[in-house]
Amino acid sequence: MKKAIDSIMPSSSAGMSRIDGRLKVTGAAKYSAEYTPAGLTYGVLVGSTITKGSITSIDTKAAGQAPGVLAVITHLNAPKVPGDQPEGGKPVPPKGAFKVFYDDKIYYNGQPIALVIADTFERALFGASLVKAQYHTDKHITNLPDNRSNGFPPRGEGTYKRGTEDAWKAAPFKVEQEYIVPTVTHNPMELHAIIANWDADNKLSVWDKTQGVKGTQEDLAHLFKLPVENVQVHSQFVGGAFGSALRTWPHEVAAIIGAKVVKKPVKLVLSRADMFTSVGYRPFTWQKIAIGATADGKLTGITHEAAGQTSSYENFTEGPTGVSQNLYACPNVNTKYHLVALDIATPTWMRGPGEATGSFALESALDELSYSLKLDPVELRLRNYAEKDPESGKPFSSKFLNEAYQLGADHIGWSERKQEPASVKKDGWLVGYGMAGGMFGAYRSGATIRAKMNTDGSLLLQSAVSDIGPGTGTAMVLIASEQMGIPAEKIRFEMGDSSLPNAPTQGGSATTASVGSAVYQACADLKEKFQKLIGNGGTDKPDYAKVLKEHNLPSLEVVTETGGGNGMEKYAMNSWSVHFVKVLVNPATGVVKIDKVACVADSGHIISPKTARSQVVGGAIGGIGMALMEESIIDHRYGRYINNNFADYHVPVNADIPQIDALFVNKPDPIINPMGAKGMAEIALIGMAAAVANAVYNASGKRVRDLPITPDKVMA
Ligand code: MOS
């Protein structure tokens, strides 16, 4: 086995720093709310105070007369959004999650019912406080466990079966347990924000927090029936998103409607409270897992049921049961996934969507099984190691998960772990170790890159892609630097602008594989163009600047388009992770302290060591938040979130997080793309919550199956 130390990326690791790091830490990087077009006005949304029903009257008079207020927009006076209107008498599905200011219907608490626009933010906020609505109130339901019997299968596949159904029941060793992942809200530092401006009657510009400028451009063109090229989307810097900016939301449409009314640019920034109702969340999900095994730890059957919440007006589906179908070699697996429609806003994808939820249940249940078998949890996983894709039977494009287990176990000091729970105490704290793994599909989609070499030897790369924080530009510059044989300082990567060459939305851990492949190929194409110029006898890495001057050319450029999905027909492609956690549990107070974390990613070749480390550490912290703190709580009497602020909704802070070590197998995948790189965004979080829960059990003997693991659930 390769020595672990070679693969550790400590905090002071070598590797290039972020190309935009200085801009970000000095405040020079501009986020969507920070632009100041001439005549800028400010919008503030008014939210519904009921959870279900309809607006019977809305009084906007006082707001309209308040100082500085330019417009008060409601469903009664809003200009129609053409893309929301019925076609051929049939209603069209909403592009903006629901149709804002469309009619008097209320679907969830906090739903925007009015937009007040004023010459300053404060005056808009005051105006918004004066809007008064009367409602007809219907009985609402916001509680999933009480309404699970109303679940329905999502369109398409809700069930899966291979082998015998419920085969676990006949096994000599078995576990059957229920698990809860509560609603968890994306809370990136940057609030969702948009500045919308109509440059002409049929021309729209927005500065908008989005994970995909091209996707936003298309949605807005569709909604406002504009030619796509007449919609300009800017999103040069994004201060985190985790999935919340993967689609177009009602506040974006509201700001654009507002700009149409006041004929001026309108800035609309969601409040932190709005973040809980306006841009999706990880849906509350109930799960039941049953696993059967032989005495030597061979899995004989897995049954996995899940019920996730969605809204009453839209079905959001993800794949929480997928991990049970794919993670281990097990001949008999059956799964069922249902949705429960509640009177809440639609959920959305959140880092590791589906898998993060499913792996908490599966990897907790497997840990429980390891105790009944009296078998080391790593050994249990190795005994059920999938050498080929359990679902399709296809070979993996690459899988080094067994090496990842070894790296992580060595690094955390797994040999110190005692199988007997609550058996180790140090300085009054119970000490325990836990581990759990994750997987996520390794995807690749098409992308286009423009690459232009200038006479000063500098290279400009352009792509519409957004960077929500992982350091996409940095990775792209590193790929180009290696391919062109020029220093990174000579390369500029322009992005986050819908007028740039096509790129996919940043999501699904696929950006480096997708856009990186285009950068790689664009560099190859550009080099070939230089070779043609030079003719025979050229070297592989010519002096580009000199060649341009010799040929009297100001620059040489290529536009390269690459396709997606290669290898998907023949191979199963995944990234893999395993998380090892050491915790301290205070037996009197139930406080859980994370003592040490080692996260190992099998995500192919590592292109940018520093940003890869950040990516993994960030995911692990997200997983710790999910495990110990994060829960968006609704008071079901009113259908309203009661902890929609950073005082009450807890996320990990520095004091909660010890040194987290990110380790990489760092072996290229020979199939997915020329760099051999696979995604690591989702796998950094997937499995982490179970690893913490498993460590808490090992330390304290307390098995917590409903997240988050707050002290009250751990106290003796
Ligand atoms: Mo991610 S949930 O694909 O932003």
Helix (H) or strand (E) holding 54: strand 53-59
As a whole number of angstroms, the distance between CA 690 and CA 502 comes to: 38
Residue 293, pLDDT above cutoff 50: yes
- What's the chain's average pLDDT? 95
Is the minimum distance from the CB of 353 to ligand 1 under 6 angstroms? Answer: yes
- Please say whether the beta carbons of 683 and 601 come within 8 A: yes
pLDDT digits (tens, 9 = 90+) for 640-682: 999 999 999 999 999 999 989 999 999 999 999 999 999 999 9
CATH architecture, domain defined by 1-28+394-438+572-716: 2-Layer Sandwich (3.30)
- Please say whether the beta carbons of 180 and 707 come within 8 A: yes
Which residues are paired to 43 by β-bridges?
A: 117, 268
How do strand 555-562 and strand 574-585 relate by DSSP bridges?
Answer: unpaired
pLDDT digits (tens, 9 = 90+) for 417-475: 999 999 999 999 999 999 999 999 999 999 999 999 999 999 999 999 999 999 999 99
Sequence-distant (6+) residues with CB within 8 A of 151 are 307, 338, 339, 340
Please give the angle made by the CA atoms of 72, 209 and 451, to the nearest 5 degrees: 140
Q: Order of strands across the sheet with 41-47? A: 69-74, 112-118, 41-47, 266-269, 193-200, 203-208, 231-234
Class of domain 38-138+191-278: alpha beta
> 716 falls in which pLDDT band (50, 70, 90)?
low
- Please say whether the beta carbons of 690 and 289 come within 8 A: no
Is the minimum distance from the CB of 349 to ligand 1 under 6 angstroms? Answer: yes
Can you tell me which residue has the tokens 């704290």?
A: 429
3-state secondary structure 222-276: HHCCCCHHHEEEECCECCCCCCCCCCCCHHHHHHHHHHHHHCCCEEEECCHHHHH
Q: What ligand 1 atom has the least distance to the C-alpha of 353?
A: 2
Q: What ligand 1 atom has the least distance to the C-alpha of 509?
A: 3
As a whole number of angstroms, the distance between CA 50 and CA 134 comes to: 10
Measured in Å, residue 527 CA sits from the centre of ligand 1 at 34
By CB neighbour count within 10 A (0-12 exposed, 13-18 middle, 19+ buried), where does 40 fall?
middle
Is the minimum distance from the CB of 702 to ligand 1 under 6 angstroms? Answer: no
Measured in Å, residue 504 CA sits from the centre of ligand 1 at 12
User: What are the CA-CA distances from residue 28 to residues 24, 32, 42, 370, 404 (Å)?
Assistant: 6, 13, 23, 52, 39
> What residue ranges do the domains of the chain occupy?
1-28+394-438+572-716, 38-138+191-278, 141-185+280-393, 444-562
Sequence-distant (6+) residues with CB within 8 A of 88 are none
Measured in Å, residue 469 CA sits from the centre of ligand 1 at 12
As a whole number of angstroms, the distance between CA 358 and CA 692 comes to: 15
Domains 1-28+394-438+572-716 and 38-138+191-278 share a fold: no
CA atoms lying within 13 Å on the CB side of residue 629: 20
Residue 469, phi then psi, degrees to nearest 5: 145, -25
Q: Is 682 a catalytic residue?
A: yes
141-185+280-393 CATH, one of 3.30.365.10, 3.40.630.190, 3.90.1150.10, 3.40.50.620:
3.30.365.10
pLDDT digits (tens, 9 = 90+) for 342-397: 999 999 999 999 999 999 999 999 999 999 999 999 999 999 999 999 999 999 99
DSSP H stretches of helix in 66-196: 121-129
Q: What is the pLDDT of residue 12?
A: 43
Taking residues 58-71, report their average pLDDT.
98
Q: Which fold has domain 444-562?
A: Aldehyde Oxidoreductase; domain 4 (3.30.365)
Count the Cβ atoms, other than its own, within 10 Å of residue 218. Answer: 17
Is the minimum distance from the CB of 238 to ligand 1 under 6 angstroms? Answer: no
Residue 106, pLDDT above cutoff 70: yes
Measured in Å, residue 241 CA sits from the centre of ligand 1 at 8
pLDDT digits (tens, 9 = 90+) for 513-536: 999 999 999 999 999 999 999 987
Residue 631, pLDDT above cutoff 80: yes
pLDDT digits (tens, 9 = 90+) for 231-242: 999 999 999 999
Q: What is the pLDDT of residue 89?
A: 84
Ligand 1 pocket test, pick from 186, 192, 246 with the greatest ligand atom count within 8 Å of Cβ, gives 246
3-state secondary structure 637-666: CCCEECCCCCCCCCCCCHHHCCCEEEEECC
Is the minimum distance from the CB of 246 to ligand 1 under 6 angstroms? Answer: yes
